[in-house]
Structure 1
Amino acid sequence: MLADNILFLREAYPAVYQAVKSWEESDPVSKALVEEAKDGNLTLKYGGDGQAIYVHSKYNPQREAQAIIDKLSEDQVINENSHVVFYGIGLAYHIEAFIVQYPQASYSIIEPSAEIFASYLDHKILKKSMGKNLMLLQCGNQAEALYAKAVQSKDKDLVICELPAYPQIFNAEYAAFLSEFKRIVKEQRSSLHTNFAYKKRWIVNSVNNFKVVLQTPNILLEDHDFCKGKSALLVAAGPSLDLEIDNLKKIKQEGLAYIFSVGSAINTLIHHGIEPDAICTYDPSERNQLVFNKINELEVDAIPMIFGSSVGYEVLEQYMGPKYHMITNQDTVAAYFLKPENGEPIEMVSDAPTIAVVTLELLVKLGFSQIILVGQNLAYTEEKSYSSGIDYITGEMRETMLQADGVFTESVAGKQVKTSESFLSMKRQLEHMISKYQAKVVNTTFGGASIEGTSFIPLARLISEELTKAVVFEHPLNQVVMTKKYNKTYALAQLEQLKTSYQEYQSLVSGIKSCLLELHDLTRRNREKEAHQTHLKMDIQIKAMEDNDFFNMIALPINRVEYGILFNAIQKTKAEKNHLRKAKSVIKPTETFIDLLYTDMNLNNEIMLVFDNVIREFA
């Protein structure tokens, strides 16, 4: 490794340095060989599996590199809004050609082979070859790091450019990288969509629900020793639920296990005359109220509803039955104001893409020794995705669901079953939760997707072999009463602290806005020194805002996506030495973010008024 590369990598990319150094210290016989091409430039060949393959042309590697970039330009629109991922560095001829042709475009480099990277570092000076827009340099095959560093900004178009020899030399690695990267990007885009759709509702729900939270028992805070050693059924609305109605009736009538309904399953259960021991809900969307239209119309009011504290507030307003809450880690309001009187930390449940995952964690934390999945298909059965009795799923919505993705996964019977990317994401979340808690989970879902960490046992067999004693009647869930309360003095003190923070927050937002106006004027007049000083002043105010309680509890969750874009924009400017260019580059993203904070001021005032009224009434 050249001395310049050692110094540069140690400081700028220590993980890459360590990966290459570890490979060199293993004293291997390298399969990567650098030799002279016909035109006098260096070229590289790789002799894996007894057959040498040229990574670059053995005649004219620079001309070949330009052809790669020309082909990329034909296939993709490349501009300052593009982010190009180079899979394979080789000797970097193609990357150097790209930088010359597209000096404004950002890019990342993924090199799966430490020995090829070592060959590059032995012959070329990395710092001279790489441009200023390099966002990630990685020696390895991990797609997660690429997404985290390079494509979080939603305005970037992702383009992948592989060295033509790499899919042949590193066939399995390249296929694995592409598959994982596509999955992560798809899931992250889904998460961004969720954040955009729910960003204000998470806060509005938490604020509107706060009074109900204060007035209802925290199901995890109250004594739940009676759950230990018992079995709980987690009943979802998959199509196989229709096959288990008689079994569920028997379990309910004889009290053989606790029945927890999640999502739309309550409609199927009520349709068949089965009242579960609890309804679980946490979806923050406005549409969530549709799930409970039927039971509200039927005036069902005896079933306990266990709700996540950031659930759609309409659900709590309309349901007249007993309510219990669980604090979700998405709820910054509860985390700020609430502390149990006994001083213990509040146990929370994690946010997840489906109520089934949230409820699984709840049941584990309640202490149930066995969790039994019913109707958790995560797949389509005979072109059905939901069980019967759910009449708010329209024909158009069904058609959309059935046409989605059209991928397959292994079923509980070891066969292939039709599913979707959305279902697969839920499946992975369930598997992660099961693995995290090492929970004993039985999957009884006929025709459903196989869920790692579970065993498949038909529900009828469980009833005959395990669920043989009445366990529910002695401790019904609807008899859990509120005995553990939140600390009123602490909530009041937090309210006063928040009021002070809110005043400081308003001043900081105004101060940042003033700095932006100054920067506009100073950069327009090329006043570099003054612009630098104003930029430093604005940075200090932004850092103070990031430490502000109101910002972290209310403003940041509402605008989390836009803040991520601003953060990425600021990170990109860190290497810029010219103070004028640096100031110019942050004006637009900062202005966009601050303008959003201004538009929320009326909402913020209403939120503070609600807090004041609710907490003073509580105290």
Structure 2
Amino acid sequence: MLIENRDFLRLKNRPLLEQLNTMEDETDTTIVEDSKQGVPTLKVEVEGKYKYIHSKYNPEQEVSRVIEQFEVEGDAEHIIVFGAGLGYHIPLLANKFPQLTFTIYEPNMEIAKQFLTNFSLKKYGAVQQFIHDKAQLFNELPNLATKYSNVVRIFSLPSYRQIYQLELDEVYETLKKILKGKVASISVNANFQQRWIINAVTNFTKVISTPNVLRDLDEKNFVGKPAIIVSAGPSLNEEFENLKYIKKNKLAYIFSVGSAINALIEHEIYPDATCSYDPKERNQRVLQKLKDKKLTNIPLIFGSTVGHETLYDYPGELLHMVTSQDTFSNYLLTEKNATPLIQDASSIALLTFQLLAKMGFSSIYLVGQNLSFQNNQRFAEGVPYNNQVTENQKLHEIESVEGDLLYTDDGYLTMKNQLEVLIKSTPQVTVYNTTKNGAKIAGTKFLPLAVVIQDHLTEKVVNNDWNKAVKSYNHELIDQRLSSLVKYKEEVITKIEEVESLIQTLNKDEQKNNNKLRRLDKNIKKITGNLYFTTIISPMMRVQIDNISNELKRLDYQENGIEKIDRIIMIYSKLIATMKVTEATAAAYFNQTTNEVLTHD
């Protein structure tokens, strides 16, 4: 092995270096021989027959033709090279795509050794990693997707596509799923990052004036008891009479989630509580029917980042749960015995499941949790949304609780997968799926609700006063922390102005150097370490911060010089501009809440 390749692996992949050091020198399953043109070619034994990795006539001409035909989109940033061979394709890829970086994956250990013995990775700084172990590659894929902003591509020689087809397909599918998930996550963050914090700050006065479900209620009312989560799936239409019976006889606590409350009210079924968490402004429409009817007997359990419009003029009692997206309340309310957070998820049913499990319920029954389409319908009757499934929606086949095939979409499939993970993580709770013709959910037992009433819910368990509580937040501590945030806010504004001025000076400076850049970097770190920034501003611009962080990481591989310094200054300038706008947006809500809390006290 070339000395420079040993150094490369010592830094980048020490386990592979150790494996290669213990390998035998000679092998007859991988053979290097001269091609007809006199340059080396490579063949490997596959199922008793030798197959050429490169042409046995003219390897250089063959690979040149392949690279000529290979194109990537303009936004591509990184290529995973599936198969190293003897490395003929690496210089051609690097020359054709000088702006890209590369990860080389070689599935055959003997080929890996041949490659590293004859090809110097040192000559190609764009090569960031050399991997042989498949598990290591799959562990690295999410990191690559994050680092290179989800624009990662795959290249393979025709021989590898033939010999390692199944493994290559697996890499493609895994990367596709990761990129799809990353894009979805970025989309969610981009859509909600500001609303989460704006809602958290605006809702804070409601949070500290209402009971925390996991802190202030008497758990004796719930431990060992059954609870029902009612969702708005089409099968809910078949369960109204059963739910009326359960409610009338107090056989289980009934929690309505999302828009199911409208269908229940239509049938004069008033759950023990309704739950809501969606940060969007339009979430208020879900409870509009309840507000219009001025129903005071249905408590609302709200996530602390719920759309603040939802809470306005709510006629009934309010209770809350602090969600993981709420960095504001989490800082102000955390004491020695911290209140458990409810992890944000793709549906209110998932948050409510977490909540009920933490409250101590021993059994949870899912009603109307179809997670699929029934007779081309999404929702039960009485839900004021577009209920039709359109023909152009991409659907997936899944198994029903009865063993038949159902159709579902990406959103429902994500909810199903997340719910299954939650159920697996709460073995102390027995979960029954009563949803007729609903999706089969791993970890649950299917049981029709009528059978549940007959065999399980046989006695009165609901305490009418379950929601009565004494609020226990430490208001003195809240005031202290809120006052300190006010001071940190002023510091951050001053520091942003200083850095903005420093960037303007640097842009005019013809003698830029790394010392001056370090001064800028030091001042940026003072901002990003500020408590007001980490609590409020940073969560509101998480997508932009991730993008800027990735841009800076990619510059690590660029040689030092004026061009690199100018690029870093431009990136920091963009960061400061975003900080300034975000701080101005946050300030109005923060100032109002601060005045209300501190003045009221």
TM-score (norm 2): 0.93
Query: In the alignment, is residue 226 of structure 1 matched against residue 215 of structure 2?
Result: no
Partner of 1:371: 364
Match of 2:36, SS state, is: coil
- Residue 158 of structure 2 corresponds to which residue in structure 1? 164
Cα distance in 2 for residues equivalent to 1:138 and 1:510 = 49
Pair 1:199 & 2:189 matched = no
The equivalent of 2:175 in structure 1 is 181
Mapping for residues 45-124 of structure 1, pairs under 5 Å: 45-73=43-71, 76-77=72-73, 79=74, 81-124=76-119
Letter in 1 for 2:15: Q
CA apart distance, 1:294: 1.4
Question: Cα distance, 1:53 vs. partner?
Answer: 2.7
Q: Is this contact kept in 2: 1:304–1:321, CA < 8 A?
A: yes
Amino acid at match of 2:303: G
The reply on whether 1:514 has 2:501 as its aligned counterpart is yes
Of 410, 426, 430 in structure 2, the residue corresponding to residue 421 of structure 1 is 410
- Which whole-Å CA distance do the structure 2 matches of 1:323 and 1:144 have between them? 44
Alignment partner, residue 8 of structure 2? 8
SS in 2 for 1:588: helix
Change (3 A) 1:246 1:147: same
- Measured after TM superposition, the shift of residue 124 of structure 1 is 2.2
- Shift, 1:593, TM fit: 2.0
Find the counterpart in structure 2 of residue 458 from structure 1. Answer: 448
Equivalent residue, structure 2, for 1:549: 531
* Cα deviation 1:210-241 (Å, max 9, x = unaligned): 00000000000022232111111111111111
In the alignment, structure 1 segments of 5+ residues that lack a partner are: none
2:435 is matched with: 445
When residues 97 and 258 of structure 1 are mapped into structure 2, their CA distance, relative to the original with a 3 A threshold, is same
Residue equivalent to 2:470: 483
1:252 aligns with 2:252: no
**Counterparts of 1:618 and 1:22, CA distance in 2:** 67
**Seq. identity, %:** 35
How far has the Cα of 1:112 moved from its partner? 4.3
Matched, 1:566 2:556: no
Quickly say closer, same or farther: Cα 1:374–1:112, change in 2 above 3 A: farther
Query: What code does the residue aligned with 1:414 have?
Result: G
Give CA-to-partner distance per residue, 1:106-131, whole Å, 9 cap, x none: 34434444454344223322222x33
2:532 corresponds to which letter in structure 1? F
Q: CA deviation at 1:509?
A: 1.4
1:272 Cα offset (Å): 1.6
Which 10-residue stretch deviates more, 358-367 or 63-72?
63-72
Change (3 A) 1:148 1:104: same
Match of 1:576 among 528, 538, 558: 558
**C-alpha spacing 1:220/1:33, structure 2 compared with 1 (3 Å):** farther
Q: Cα 1:212–1:66, aligned 2, differ >3 Å: closer, same or farther? A: same
CA contact (8 A) 1:411 1:447 kept: yes
- Per-residue deviation at 1:26? 8.0
Once the two structures are TM-superposed, the CA of residue 278 in structure 1 deviates from its matched residue by: 1.2
Deviation of 1:333 (Å): 0.6
Distance 1:273 1:415, change over 3 A: same
Q: Secondary structure at the match of 1:363?
A: helix
The answer for unaligned runs of 5 or more in structure 2 is none
Cα pair 2:219 2:360 within 8 Å, conserved: yes
- Cα distance between partner residues in 1 of 2:405 and 2:130: 38
Structure 1 residues 618, 137: CA separation in 2 closer, same or farther (over 3 Å shift)? farther
Q: Tell me whether 85-94 or 26-35 shows the greater mean CA deviation.
A: 26-35
SS in 2 for 1:215: coil
Shift of residue 609 of structure 1?
1.5
Closer, same or farther: CA 48–444 of 1 in aligned 2, 3 Å = farther
SS in 2 for 1:259: strand
**CA distance 1:345–1:468, shift in 2 (3 Å):** same
134-143 or 305-314, which deviates more: 134-143
Report the Cα distance in structure 1 between the residues aligned to 2:353 and 2:23, rounded to whole angstroms. 45
Q: 3-state SS of the aligned residue for 2:78?
A: strand
Measure how far apart 1:409 and its partner are. 1.6
- Alignment partners' CA distance in 1, 2:424 and 2:89: 43
CA deviations on 1:267-320 (whole Å, 9 max, x unpaired) are 111112211111111110112111112111122221111111000001111322
Query: What amino acid sits opposite 1:53 in the alignment?
Result: K
Cα 1:242/1:511, change in 2 over 3 Å:
same
Quick check: 182-191 or 511-520, which moved more? 511-520
User: Helix, strand or coil: the match of 1:237?
Assistant: coil
Preserved contact between residue 106 and residue 134 of structure 1 (Cα < 8 Å): yes
Q: How does 1:119-130 map to 2 (within 5 A)?
A: 119-128=114-123, 130=124
Q: Give the partner amino acid of 2:64.
A: Q
1:468 paired to 2:458: yes
**Amino acid in the other structure paired with 2:6:** I
* 1:574/1:521 CA distance change after superposition, 3 Å: same
- Contact 1:20–1:115 (CA under 8 A) maintained in structure 2: no
User: Per-residue displacement from partner, 1:462-503 (whole Å, max 9, x unpaired)?
Assistant: 22111111111xx23x54233241112221221232122112
Q: How many aligned positions are there?
A: 597
Q: Offset at 1:151?
A: 4.8
Contact 1:566 1:589 in 2 (8 A): yes
Q: 1:234–1:372: 8 Å Cα contact kept in structure 2?
A: yes
Q: Is the 8 A contact 2:398 2:407 kept in 1?
A: yes
Q: Are 1:267 and 2:259 matched, yes or no? A: no
Does the 8 Å contact 1:38/1:60 carry over to 2? yes
- Counterpart contact for 1:135–1:150, Cα < 8 Å: no
Q: Is the 8 A contact 1:87 1:161 kept in 2?
A: yes
Amino acid at match of 1:285: K
Equivalent in 370, 386, 392 of residue 394 of structure 1: 386
Measured in 2, the distance between the counterparts of 1:332 and 1:506 equals 20
- Aligned to 1:216, which of 192, 207, 210? 210
Q: How do 1:579-598 residues align onto structure 2 when only pairs under 5 Å count?
A: 579-598=561-580
From 346, 359, 362, the counterpart of 2:339: 346
For the pair 1:355 / 2:348, whether they are aligned, the reply is: yes
Give the direction of change, closer, same or farther, for the CA distance of 1:385–1:188 in structure 2 (3 Å limit): same
The Cα offsets for residues 573-606 of structure 1, whole Å up to 9 and x where unpaired, read as 2233423232122233322221112223432332
* Residue 615 of structure 1: aligned partner: 597
Q: Contact between 1:104 and 1:133, CA under 8 Å: does it hold in 2? A: no
Q: 1:136, 1:296 → 2: CA distance? A: 61
Q: Is the 8 A contact 2:537 2:583 kept in 1?
A: no
> Distance in 1 between the 2:492 and 2:461 partners?
53
Distance apart, 1:347 and its partner CA: 0.8
What SS does the aligned partner of 1:348 have? coil
Q: Distance in 1 between matches of 2:5 and 2:127?
A: 18
The CA distance in 1 between the partners of 2:306 and 2:110, in whole Å, is 52
Q: What amino acid is the match of 1:394?
A: N
Using the alignment, how far apart are the partners of 2:240 and 2:214 within structure 1? 29
Distance 1:106 1:219 in 2: 50
